[in-house]
Amino acid sequence: MRVGSLLAPSERTPVEMILASMNSAPSNGSIRICLAEDHADARMVLKAMLTRLGHQVVADVSNGAELLQVAEQHELDLVIMDLDMPVMDGLAAADEIHARRPVPIILLSGHPDAQHIVVENEPITSCLMKPVTIDSLDRAIRDATGSSEKRRHA
């Protein structure tokens, strides 16, 4: 049974509608991901998408400082983070993570000019505009980890 299938579409919350629409098949090969998003509902949806795609969410945190702690404690294959977070924003966290151990980073943002951040900041592999779809997330993960996945499985 699909998530949210017990409710009529008009009775579902936006989160339930997004979860119910996730039909993409799992991708090949699990990768270790840390997810940093300060909005709990968005974090829950993204975590469900990543799990549905067959990836391991090592940790999901609500700010950049927590993300740095996770990055120190775990070997990560990918970081997916929001641009605007409390305590430490996504750009500052990306710079810190990149300085310690380079890892692909996908930035999430609702700002229309956020795509320029990718061009201007080396640690950022790509930028996804919110709301994120499971297909766009899967594509960004494949693009960001393509070379590291090939190396790991070689």
Boundaries of every domain in the chain: 9-153
- Residue 84 pLDDT: 83
User: Tens-digit pLDDT profile for the chain (154 aa)?
Assistant: 333 333 445 555 555 545 444 444 444 568 999 999 999 999 999 999 999 999 999 999 999 999 999 999 999 999 999 988 888 888 889 889 989 988 999 999 887 776 666 656 667 888 899 999 999 999 999 999 984 444 333 3
100, burial (CB in 10 Å: exposed 0-12, middle 13-18, buried 19+): exposed
Paired residues of 124 in beta bridges:
105
- Nearest of 142, 143, 144 to residue 54 by alpha carbon: 142
- Nearest of 123, 128, 32, 27 to residue 78 by alpha carbon: 32
| Superfamily, domain 9-153 | Response regulator (3.40.50.2300)
- Residue 37 pLDDT: 94
Element (H, E) at 88: none
